[in-house]
Structure 1
Amino acid sequence: MATKNSKLKLSKGKYTVYDLLEKARSCQENYDYDMAKRYCNRAMEMEPENVEVLENIGSIYMDFGDWDSAKELFERCVNLSPNTGYQKYMYLGQVNVAQDAVNYFNKGIELMIKELNSLPTNSDKAKDLSRKISSALCSIVEMYMTDLCDEPNAEENCEKYIIEAEKYCNTNFEVYQTMASVRMSQNRPEEAKELVLKSINLWKDLDVEDENYPEYPIRVNLAKLMLELHMNTEALSLLQSLLQEDDEIVEVSYLCGWCYYLLGEETDENGNVDEQIRKEAWEDARLCFINLINRFGLSSPDDQSVLNHSIELKNKITSIIGEISNAPEPTFEINDDEWEDIDNEMDLE
C-alpha cells in the first residue's frame, strides 16, 4: 500500500502520485474501474519510472482482473529494478504459468531470503517474511501439481519445495493444505487427512479479519480437497460457513449439494447404506440443487457443467426417493441439445 512521502507537499490544486493512488484505491473499493484507471494513468504520467507507484498500480489492475495490464507494469518494474523488491516477482508468478511462473517465484524468494538474512531473528518482520517465503514455495508446488505435472521431476520438486516451505514457517496453514494435496496425489489419503486437520487447526480459532485467516478461494479449494478425501461431514461444515459468508458463489452452492449427496451414499462397516440417513441427506441435496437452478440458471457459460450436473443429480434423487412435499420446483431445465458428458468434466466425480 502506498504511503505519502513526507517530502512531497500537496500544492494548491495539485496532487502527488500518492494522492492519486489513494483516490484510485477509493475507486477500487467502490468497484469503479474506469475512474480508478484514470487516476492510475495520471500517476504513471507523472512518475513513469517510480517502481513503487507502478507496483501499486499493477496491484490495483490485479484486483480488477486486468491481468494483461498488470503483467505489463510488473515487467516494467523488473526492467527498472531487477535486483530489489520481491513483490513484483510474486505478482508476476501469479499472472504467468508453467516454468515462467516458477522462475518468477524463485527470483522473488531469492530476494526475500536475502532480506530475511538481514533482519533480527524472531522479529515480527522476520516472521512475516518467513511466512511469505513459505507461501511462495507452496505456489511453486501448486505449479508442479498442475501446469508442470508432466515434467519428469514434478513429484521430486513437489517434495523438495513443500519441505522447504515447512522449514521456513511451520505455522502457515497453507503449507499443510498444500502438503495434503501432494499426499493425495501420491495416493496417501490417511496422511493427507491428518494434514488437512493440522492446517485447519492453525486458523479455525482466528478472527475472520485476521490477516492469517485463509481467503475465501483457499477455503473453497480446501472443501474440494476434503470431499476428495471423503471427509464429507467436515466439508459440509466448511461449505455452510462459506455460504453464510457469501451465498452468491455458484460453485459453493453446488458443492454443498454435492456434499449432501455424498453423505447419502456413505456406507457402514458392512458396506450397507442407512436408507433413512440417505433419504434425509438426499432431500437436503435436492433442495440445494433446486435452489441453485432456480436462483442462478445459466448465469454464465462457465456454470454450464455445474448446472447440468445439478439437474442430473436432482432427477436421480427424485427417481430413487420420490418427490418432496412443499418443495420448490425448478424453473430451469436442461436443453437436451446442450447435454455434455458430465462425468468427464467434474473434478469430484
Structure 2
Amino acid sequence: MVKKGPKGKGKKASVAASPDRKPQPVEDVVEEAQTQLLFGNYDRAMEIMRELSAAHPDNAEVLDIYGTALAEVGQIDQAVAVFKRAVELSPYAGHEKYMYLSQLVDGPESLEYSSRGIELLKRACACEEEDAQYAEDLRGQLCQAICSTVETMLNIPEFLSSSSHPGRAEDAARMLEEAQASSPQSPEPAQVKASLLVEVGGREEEARAALRHSMSLWYVRPASLCGGDQGEQGGGMEVDGRDGTGAESHLREGCAPPSFEFRFETAKLIMELEDDARDSLAILEGLLDENDVSLDAWFLLTLAHQGMGQIEEAKACLDHIEQAISAYPADAEERESIRLLRLDAEKIAKELAEEEEKRRRGV
C-alpha cells in the first residue's frame, strides 16, 4: 500500500547526514523506501526505514512505511507494534495502517481495525475532487477493504450465525452492495457475496446468481468447452463464449485477470454451486499455466475431473500430486500439510478405483 504523496509544499523535515552531505528531506527518504518496496528490495527498504524511524520515532508517516516493510518481510509482531504506535500518533489520518493491522491480527480486533480504515477511506473518497485517477484508486481500495472485512467475518466461527447474531448476514450483504457501488467493474464484491450466501445456507440460487455476475465481469467460456458451439452453455455458467481474446481464452477481452487466489476461489465456488464443472476446469488449467507447482490447484483439478466423471484425467492429476509431494522439501509444518494432502489423495485414488471398476462392470 503506497500512499499518495502530500499535495502541499510545506517545509520538509530533514534526515541527519554526514557533515559533508546535505540532510535529506524525510519525504524523499520515505519515497526511496517505497520505491525499494515496490521493486521487492525489502532488505534495502528495511535498512532505510530502520535508520529513519530511529531518527524520527514520532513521525506517523515514517512508521507507516516501516510497518509495511516489516510486514512484507514477515516480522509480524514488530509490524503490529509499529502500526499501533502510528495509530496513537495519527488516529484520524491514513487508512493504510488500519488495513494492514486488520490483516495482521485476528478475530474481532481485525474487524475493529478494518472498520476504522474503511471510515477513513470513505472520508477520503468524499473529499477527493482534484485528482480523478486518485479518486478512482481510493474507491477501488474502499471496495477491497469492505470485501476483506466481510471475508474476515466469514472466517470467525459463528460470527454470522442467525441465532447468536441476528442481522449480521444482512449487514454484510449491504456492505458488499456498497463495495460494488464504489467499484462497479470489480468482480470481488459479487464473489464474496456468493461465499456469504453459501455460508449462511439455504440461499444457493442467490449465491449462484452472485457468482455468475462476478464471473461475467472477467470470464468467458473457451470455445473448446462448448462442444464446437460457442453459444452452447450446457448446465454451467451463462457466459458469452464469443467475446474472449481467442478460442482458448477464458479472460474477457480487455480485462486484467483477477489474482491467482481469487480465481482459485472462483473454481471452488463453481464446483460447490454448479452441476457443470467445465468452467472450473478452464480456470484451474489457466492457473496451472501460470504456476504449475501449486499443489492446491492440482488437487482441486483432480476433484473437478472426478466430479465430471473424467476418471483418467483425475488419475493423471493425482499421479502428478504424488510425484510432487514425494520430492517436496518441507519443514515440519509443511510436512504435516503434505501428510494430510496425501491422505486426501489416497482417499480420492480409492474412489477413482471404485468408479473405474463400476464402469468396467457396467454398473
Query: TM-score, structure 1 length as denominator?
Result: 0.75
State the distance in 2 between where 1:240 and 1:296 align. 19
- After superposing the two structures, state which structure 1 stretch, 113-122 or 80-89, moved more: 113-122
The corresponding residue for 1:339 is none
Q: Percent identity?
A: 24
Most deviating of 42-51 and 115-124: 115-124
**Deviation string for 1:66-116 (max 9, x for gaps)?**
322221111111011001111111111111222212211111111112122
- What is the 5 A alignment of 1:297-336? 297=326, 299=330, 300=334, 301-321=336-356
Matches within 5 A, 1:224-263: 224-230=268-274, 231-263=276-308
The 2-side partners of 1:104 and 1:4 are apart by: 23
2:308 counterpart SS class = helix
Letter in 2 for 1:59: T
2:24 equivalent to 1:50: no
- 1:85 corresponding residue in structure 2: 94
Q: Does 1:114 pair with 2:123?
A: yes
- The 5 A counterparts of 1:114-193 are 114-120=123-129, 123-147=132-156, 148-150=159-161, 151-153=164-166, 154-185=168-199, 186-193=201-208
Question: Which residue is 1:94 aligned to?
Answer: 103
CA contact (8 A) 2:34 2:65 kept: no
Q: Tell me the residue number matched to 2:325.
A: 296
Alpha-carbon distance between aligned partners in 2 of 1:234 and 1:161, rounded to the nearest angstrom: 28
User: Any idea what SS the aligned residue of 2:137 has?
Assistant: helix
Match of 2:263 in 1: 219
| 1:191 CA drift (Å) | 2.5
Instruction: Rate the CA distance shift 1:252–1:134 in 2: closer, same or farther, 3 A.
Output: same
Go from structure 1 to structure 2 and tell me whether the alpha carbon gap of 1:37 and 1:318 turns closer, same or farther (over 3 Å shift). same
1:242 is matched by which residue type in structure 2?
L
Q: Separation in 2 of the partners of 1:24 and 1:118? A: 25
CA separation in 1, counterparts of 2:66 and 2:107? 25
Cα gap change, 1:164/1:30 in structure 2, threshold over 3 Å: closer, same or farther?
closer
Q: Secondary structure at the match of 1:239?
A: helix
Distance in 2 separating the partners of 1:39 and 1:237 = 44
Q: TM-score, normalised by structure 2?
A: 0.72
What amino acid does structure 2 have at the position aligned with 1:167? A
Residue of structure 2 in register with 1:341 after alignment: none
Distance apart, 1:31 and its partner CA? 7.2
Q: For structure 1, list consecutive stretches of 5 or more residues without a partner in the other structure.
A: 265-280, 323-349
Distance 2:75 2:345 in 1: 31
| Cα drift, residue 29 of structure 1 | 5.1
Letter of the 2:180 counterpart: E
1-side partners of 2:254 and 2:339: how far apart?
A: 35
The Cα shift of 1:284 comes to 0.8
User: In the alignment, does 2:315 pair up with 1:286?
Assistant: yes
For the 8 Å contact 1:138–1:162, the answer to whether it is kept is yes
* Structure 2: distance between partners of 1:236 and 1:129: 34
Matched residue of 1:117: which SS? Answer: helix
Question: How much does 1:206 deviate?
Answer: 6.4
In 2, Cα distance between the equivalents of 1:32 and 1:125?
A: 26
Structural RMSD (CA) = 3.1
CA distance in 2, matches of 1:220, 1:205: 17
Give the SS at the match of 2:202: coil
Checking the alignment, whether the CA contact within 8 Å between 1:61 and 1:70 is kept in structure 2 is: yes
Q: 1:122 to 1:82 in 2, by over 3 A?
A: closer
Q: For the Cα contact (< 8 Å) 1:51–1:81, is it kept in 2? A: yes
3-state SS of paired residue (1:221): helix
Q: Which amino acid aligns with 1:302?
A: S
> Shift of the alpha carbon at 1:25?
6.0
Please tell me the residue identity of whatever aligns with 1:205: R
